[in-house]
Structure 1
């Protein structure tokens, strides 16, 4: 059963991808038709790509018993039960830990952007617009990692 958060994640990810493709296409059109590239499209596309990457990681961790991401299985395929399950759960926990650290560091960057009043070069908007979503998306990935560890551990 798919939850509301799962559908919201996928919808936001699809919207981000549509936004990025549209901006990139607009930039190509203006560059080759009018010989005038739109500098702001790169700024928006790069930051949207960071958000889409974090959301994609969260979606991949959510899918299936062991997640949908590529993983190194040479060790877990040859171990007797319950060791494969233990190592897969540890992988999810390591992912959760690393993305929790990323959330802390990203929060520090967003806080600094707010305190310093840093402005983006192309659009002249506060950098915090770009950096504030990152710690929350990293926490979403960490949460999905914890869910994956729990899901793996309790599976038989």
Structure 2
């Protein structure tokens, strides 16, 4: 819970403070973030070593690193939505009565849900097209759906986290 200051503004939650209880543990996003960051570091390090000793880089590292950065952004976005730490204009979101703040928080969560549900549908259509037309990735020629399958999956995860936040804010006194 945020701590109010002398001026009436709320301080952000202290890092390491316990998260709100959720049905699906937030540790999933936390561990996925750690794993993706570790993979990015290892791939980049291996590519630097290969370039240093052979003057050539691995062809697949740039394509795979871009994919991992997109996954990282989506996983971190899911954690941010679940923790209600997504970007907002605090002047509007944190001012007014508690009922107004709750209503704005619920409205924001509902809009995030709508956005990512729509993204899940549209990226699902892209995935279908990638599979149907046999698209391959431009860098290394693997099936493109290997990359695009994760966008609808992670969009559904973010939409689910937003829906959970919507209901949690509705239960607040």
The reply to whether TM is greater than 0.5 is yes
Q: Which residue of 2 aligns with 1:57?
A: 77
Higher helix fraction (1 or 2): 1
Q: How far is 1:61 from its partner?
A: 1.4
Given the two structures, how large is their TM-score scaled by the length of structure 2? 0.81
Alpha-carbon separation, structure 2, partners of 1:89 and 1:72: 15
Deviations 1:14-50 (A, max 9, x none): 1111111111122222223321022210111101111
Q: Which residue of 2 aligns with 1:17?
A: 37
Alpha-carbon separation, structure 2, partners of 1:5 and 1:120: 34
Alpha-carbon separation, structure 2, partners of 1:49 and 1:57: 12
Aligned residue pairs: how many? 153
> Which structure carries more relative contact order (alpha carbon 8 Å, separation 6+)?
1
| Pairing of 1:7-156 with structure 2 (within 5 A) | 7-63=27-83, 67-156=84-173
Which aligned segments of 4 or more residues in structure 1 are displaced greater than 4 angstroms?
Answer: 1-5
Q: Which consecutive unaligned segments of at least 5 residues does structure 2 have?
A: 1-20
Alpha-carbon separation, structure 2, partners of 1:3 and 1:155: 16
Q: Which residue of 1 aligns with 2:6?
A: none
Alpha-carbon separation, structure 1, partners of 2:25 and 2:96: 35
Q: Which consecutive unaligned segments of at least 5 residues does structure 1 have?
A: none
- The 1:144/1:4 distance shift into structure 2, 3 A limit, reads closer
Greater C-alpha radius of gyration: 2
Please give the secondary structure, in 2, of the residue aligned with 1:82: helix
Alpha-carbon separation, structure 2, partners of 1:13 and 1:122: 25
- The 1:119/1:146 distance shift into structure 2, 3 A limit, reads same
Given the two structures, how large is their TM-score scaled by the length of structure 1? 0.89
Worse-superposed segment, 105-114 or 9-18: 9-18
